[in-house]
């Protein structure tokens, strides 16, 4: 319902494009996070971000990549 309202408001005020950012694999995903999986399942075009920017040191960045690749038990 919230996403439908968001798109309705955007249309009413003349915003031609809405960009949603999220992660369907997010731990503890609730209604707001689940919408990304539902939209993707229904054919919404998506882009995938593959570069890590938050972790500034090579050691931390490597840990994040290993976690993403499920190489950490």
24-69, pLDDT tens digit by residue?
666 555 555 677 778 888 888 888 777 888 888 989 988 888 888 8
Alpha-carbon span 28 to 32, nearest angstrom = 11
Q: What is the reported pLDDT for 69?
A: 81
pTM score: 0.45
Give the CA count within 13 Å in the CB-facing half-sphere of 69: 9
Alpha-carbon span 46 to 23, nearest angstrom = 11
Least confident of 8-12, 14-18, 50-54: 50-54
């Amino acid at each position: 319902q919230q996403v439908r309202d968001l798109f309705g408001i955007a249309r009413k005020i003349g915003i031609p494009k809405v960009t949603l950012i999220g992660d369907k694999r997010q731990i503890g995903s609730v209604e707001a996070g689940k919408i990304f999986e539902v939209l993707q399942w229904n054919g919404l075009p998506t882009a995938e971000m593959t570069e890590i920017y938050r972790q500034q040191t090579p050691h931390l960045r490597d840990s994040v990549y290993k976690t993403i690749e499920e190489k950490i038990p």
